[in-house]
Amino acid sequence: MNNIDYHKLGEKVRLKRREMGYTQEKLAEICDISTGFLGHIESGTRAPSLETLYSLACALHSGVDYFLFDSAPDSDNMLEQIGSVVHKKSPDVYNRFCNTVRILAEHIDEI
């Protein structure tokens, strides 16, 4: 089993945060974590929980796989296309959208 490279994960979080134009303070606020903890995640000295990683991915308009693996989502990926539509919305709206999609995915067999 391969180990997660938390330094690489942190570098990707920092890169996406800067691409989005967020300060550490703003991203930490969006994800409801402390700025210090985000700094540790970005430096690779602390590992985020799955919930925190998911929150970061949503806030940074990325898939969790982008942070865990070396493959970024394809530009023709349906989720990426949907993400680009809501990209211009507020972080709160984007997070609500991500949570709605997650809930739908969890209950897809019931629909």
- ∠ CA 68-5-98, nearest 5°, is 25
The per-residue pLDDT of the chain, averaged, comes to: 85
In this prediction, residue 9 carries a pLDDT of 93
With 0.75 as the threshold, say if the pTM is over it.
Answer: no
CA neighbor of 14 nearest in space, from 3, 27, 5: 27
Give the model's pLDDT for residue 101. Answer: 82
Mean pLDDT across 6-25: 94
Lowest mean pLDDT among 14-28, 30-44, 67-81, 92-106: 67-81
Higher pLDDT, 41 or 3: 41
Which domains are assigned to the chain?
Answer: 6-110 (1.10.260.40)
Residue 1 has pLDDT above 50, yes or no: no
Which residues lie below 8 Å from residue 23, measured CB to CB, with a gap of 6+? Answer: none
